[in-house]
Chain A
């Protein structure tokens, strides 16, 4: 990610405004840059929330079309990253609702296809994959509100304040949801061991 505001996370940066302005005035390359910059972030969020790569692809495409439509109205109330996260999250909520997710299938396929970690030996890699598969499955078993908070914090690395902006809740609520989500994951994983 090229544009993160180091001094004040969550606030828009000059490149954010620049990108939005160029798009507003018809510079088609601006949206291409935006896609290159944010597509991994959006796709991973959709994947973690849906648990289905095909579904994540459809959701991501719809999110970017919403971003395309809404970008001329972006006024910099938050960083572009936070703004796009919010669109993606709201879109996923609307499309996914509370339906049951294909946890096991996704997790097994995802980890079997994933790249091997060159810093680990074969046995260690196998254990790491097994652990990763189990944590993915446990993550998808969390209630949506806890899963959103944990993914945004521990997978995507957003600050508490950024998560509060994305979710539209107070920082105290974010802290509580993250803690409860992590604790449930801990309980789920320890029960399996």
Chain B
């Protein structure tokens, strides 16, 4: 015999893992080849020896250790399940759903905060266009009240020393209801009866509107008192 069988074939022959045709080829070859007979015999002996190796018995301490560790894990699981029930089963909600809830909650909070900010800070301040001093007719009535002089312009009674300022910005909060203004400056009563008043009140420029604003046109002015225009002062929003 010039060639010998591969170890793969001899080993697979021992395991009965060869196809019928290969099986016959191996048997035919081995019957005539002393070298392959010897190798097959050696392999068979190895397999027999391995199969006869005594199985080791797991030591009892292994079982005890595993049992202790597993008991601990079961206890932790029960504890986790109990906590889950205490939380109303929220832990049953899967991760992505939880994430969704959290995102919606955050978004709602952002919207509420933004709305609050807009309500508080975002309001455009009222801009009051102050008429120039020249807009008041020299013959216009001048009313003195509370130690101040008021002149009619743009449908309101203006504190005279305000006129001439190029522009005064007034917050909405500076539009004071008549009641509140009268509590602080009772002397405004007569003037308010004749129309809105723009004055410096508590250090701030304030627009005080009569309770029934818009007022009907002021009572017919005496010949020396100009009638107020029917329109209230222009208070454009920037």
Contacts and interface: CB of A to CB of B under 8 A. Distances in A.
Interface of A: 26, 28, 31-32, 35, 39-40, 42-44, 47, 53, 56-57, 60-61, 64-65, 68, 110, 114-115, 128, 131-132, 135-136, 139, 150, 153-155, 157, 160, 175-176, 178-180, 182-183, 185-186, 189-190
A186 B46 contact: yes
Given A68-B73, A132-B53, A186 B17 contact: no
B11 A183 contact: yes
A154 B54 contact: no
Contacts of A153: 15
Nearest to B81: A26
Nearest to B47: A154
Nearest to B17: A160
Given A68-B73, A160-B17, A179-B8, A154 B55 contact: no
Nearest to B18: A175
B7 A61 contact: no
Contacts of B61: 57
A103 B57 CA distance: 19
B43 A182 contact: yes
16 contacts: A26-B77, A40-B57, A42-B58, A56-B56, A131-B49, A132-B49, A132-B54, A135-B50, A153-B15, A155-B50, A155-B53, A160-B15, A179-B7, A183-B11, A185-B50, A186-B43
B167 interface: no
Interface stretch (B62-70, B89-97, B211-219): B62-70
Contact of B7 (A35, A53, A180): A180
Contact of A57 (B46, B50, B54, B59): B59
Contacts of B2: none
A185 B58 CA distance: 26
Given A47-B56, A183-B43, A186-B42, A154 B51 contact: yes
Given A155-B50, A186-B46, 7 more contacts: A39-B58, A44-B55, A57-B61, A60-B62, A114-B54, A178-B11, A189-B42
B117 interface: no
A65 B66 contact: yes
A155 B51 contact: yes
B137 to A, nearest CB: 93
Contacts of A31: 70
Nearest to A190: B42
Nearest to A26: B77
Nearest to B68: A61
B29 interface: no
Contacts of A39: 58, 62-63, 66
A191 to B, nearest CB: 11
Contact of B46 (A40, A160, A182): A182
Contact of A176 (B8, B15, B65): B8
Interface string B18-48: 0000000000000000000001001101110
Nearest to A151: B50
A14 to B, nearest CB: 24
A106 to B, nearest CB: 11
A57 B57 contact: no
Contacts of B6: 179
